[in-house]
Structure 1
Amino acid sequence: MSSLSSELQQVFKEHADKARPVRKAAVLGAGIMGGGITITSAAHGVPVLMKDIAEAQLELGMNEARRQVGRLVQKEKITPEQAEEVMASIDPTLEYLGFDQVDAVIEAVVENLDLKHRVLDELENVVRDEAIIATNTSSLRIDDIGQHMKHPERFVGMHFFNPVPVMPLVEIIQGTKTRDEAVSTAVTWALKMGKTPIVVQDCPGFLVNRILTAYTRAFLELVAEGVDFEHIDKSMEAFGWPMGPAYLEDVIGIDTGSHVSDVISAGYPDRMPHIENDAFRLMKSRDRLGQKNGKGFYDYTPDDSGRPQKHSSPEAHELIRTIQPNGRKELSVEEIQQRMMLAMITESVHCLEDRVVGSAEELDTALLMGVGFPRDKGGAIRYADSLGAKAVLAQCELYRHLGAQYEPTATIRKLAETDGSFYDEFPAGN
Structure 2
Amino acid sequence: MIYQSDALTVTRLDGDIAELHFDLQGESVNKFDQNTVGHLTKALDALEAESGLRGLLVTSGKPVFIVGADITEFTSLFGAGADEIKGFTGLNNANFNRLQNLPYPSTVAINGFALGGGFEVCLACDFRVMSTVAKVGLPETKLGILPGWGGTVRLPRIIGVDEAVMWIATAAEQRPDAALKAGAVDAVAAPEQLREVALATLNNAIDGKLDYVARRTQKSSPLPLNDTEAMMAFFTIKQMVAQQAGRNYPAPVKVVDCIEQARGMDLEAALEVEAAGFAELAVTPVAAALVGVFLNDQLLGKKAKGWEKRADKKVEQAAVLGAGIMGGGIAYQSAYKGVPIKMKDINQAGLDLGLKEANKLLAKRVERGRMSPGQMGEVLNSIDPTLTYGGFEDVDIVVEAVVENPKVKHAVLAETEKQISPDTVLASNTSTISIDFLAQALERPENFCGMHFFNPVHAMPLVEVIRGEKTSDTAVARTVAYANKMGKKAVVVKDCPGFLVNRVLFPYFDGFSKLVRDGADFQAVDKVMERWGWPMGPAYLMDVVGIDTGVHAAEVMAEGFPDRMKLDFKTATEVMFENERYGQKNSIGFYEYVEDKRGKPKKTVTESTYELIKDIVAERTEFSDEDIIARMMLPMATELARCLEEGIVETPAEADLALLYGLGFPPFRGGVFRWMDTVGLEFIAAASEKFAHLGKSYELTDGMKAKLAAGETYY
Q: Normalising by the residue count of structure 1, what TM-score does the alignment of the two structures yield?
A: 0.95
C-alpha deviation, 1:2, in angstroms:
8.2
Judged with a 3 Å threshold, the aligned counterparts in structure 2 of structure 1 residues 287 and 5 are, in CA distance, closer, same or farther, namely closer
Partner of 1:62: 355
Q: Is the 8 A contact 1:390 1:415 kept in 2?
A: no
Equivalent of 1:48 in 341, 346, 349: 341
Per-residue CA deviation, residues 108-148 of structure 1 (Å, 9 max, x unaligned), is: 11112122122122211111111100111111111111112
Partner of 2:493: 200
Judged with a 3 Å threshold, the aligned counterparts in structure 2 of structure 1 residues 5 and 291 are, in CA distance, closer, same or farther, namely closer
Output the CA distance in 2 between the equivalents of 1:10 and 1:292: 38
Counterparts of 1:230-269 in structure 2, within 5 Å, are: 230-269=523-562
Output the CA distance in 2 between the equivalents of 1:159 and 1:340: 25
C-alpha deviation, 1:68, in angstroms:
1.5
Corresponding residue SS for 1:41:
helix
Judged with a 3 Å threshold, the aligned counterparts in structure 2 of structure 1 residues 266 and 23 are, in CA distance, closer, same or farther, namely same
- Detail structure 1 runs of 4+ shifted over 4 Å in the superposition: 1-4
Equivalent of 2:601 in 302, 308, 316: 308
Equivalent of 2:330 in 37, 46, 53: 37
C-alpha deviation, 1:293, in angstroms:
2.4
Equivalent of 1:379 in 640, 664, 671: 671
List alignment gaps of at least 5 residues for structure 2. 1-292
Counterparts of 1:74-93 in structure 2, within 5 Å, are: 74-93=367-386
Per-residue CA deviation, residues 240-295 of structure 1 (Å, 9 max, x unaligned), is: 11111111111222121111112112210011122413111111112222222232
Q: Normalising by the residue count of structure 2, what TM-score does the alignment of the two structures yield?
A: 0.58
- Answering whether residue 485 of structure 2 is matched by residue 176 of structure 1, we say no
- Answering whether residue 704 of structure 2 is matched by residue 412 of structure 1, we say yes
- Answering whether residue 563 of structure 2 is matched by residue 270 of structure 1, we say yes
Equivalent of 2:507 in 214, 219, 225: 214
Moved more, 299-308 or 99-108: 299-308
Q: Which letter does structure 1 place at the counterpart of 2:429?
A: N
Output the CA distance in 2 between the equivalents of 1:31 and 1:277: 32
Equivalent of 2:647 in 349, 355, 364: 355
Equivalent of 1:397 in 654, 679, 689: 689
C-alpha deviation, 1:4, in angstroms:
5.5
Output the CA distance in 1 between the equivalents of 2:570 and 2:703: 32
Per-residue CA deviation, residues 339-382 of structure 1 (Å, 9 max, x unaligned), is: 11111111110110111111101011010011111111111111
Output the CA distance in 2 between the equivalents of 1:8 and 1:307: 34
Counterparts of 1:219-230 in structure 2, within 5 Å, are: 219-230=512-523
Equivalent of 2:638 in 333, 346, 365: 346
Counterparts of 1:149-188 in structure 2, within 5 Å, are: 149-188=442-481
Q: Is the 8 A contact 2:296 2:654 kept in 1?
A: no
Partner of 1:135: 428
Per-residue CA deviation, residues 209-244 of structure 1 (Å, 9 max, x unaligned), is: 111101000000111111111111111111111111
What is the aligned-residue identity percentage?
Answer: 48
Output the CA distance in 2 between the equivalents of 1:207 and 1:40: 23
Partner of 2:628: 336
C-alpha deviation, 1:338, in angstroms:
1.0
Output the CA distance in 2 between the equivalents of 1:128 and 1:153: 14
Q: Which letter does structure 2 place at the counterpart of 1:99?
A: F
Q: Which letter does structure 2 place at the counterpart of 1:280?
A: T
Q: Is the 8 A contact 1:392 1:412 kept in 2?
A: no
Q: Which letter does structure 2 place at the counterpart of 1:420?
A: E
List alignment gaps of at least 5 residues for structure 1. 424-430
Task: Report the aligned-residue RMSD.
Answer: 1.5
- Answering whether residue 316 of structure 2 is matched by residue 23 of structure 1, we say yes
Partner of 1:427: none
Output the CA distance in 2 between the equivalents of 1:383 and 1:2: 15
Corresponding residue SS for 2:452:
strand
Q: Which letter does structure 2 place at the counterpart of 1:381?
A: F
Per-residue CA deviation, residues 153-197 of structure 1 (Å, 9 max, x unaligned), is: 000100001111111111101000000111111111101101001
Q: Which letter does structure 2 place at the counterpart of 1:141?
A: S
Which has the bigger relative contact order, CA under 8 A and spacing at least 6?
A: 1
Partner of 1:190: 483
Judged with a 3 Å threshold, the aligned counterparts in structure 2 of structure 1 residues 120 and 300 are, in CA distance, closer, same or farther, namely closer
Q: Is the 8 A contact 2:328 2:354 kept in 1?
A: yes
Output the CA distance in 2 between the equivalents of 1:128 and 1:43: 25
- Answering whether residue 589 of structure 2 is matched by residue 296 of structure 1, we say yes
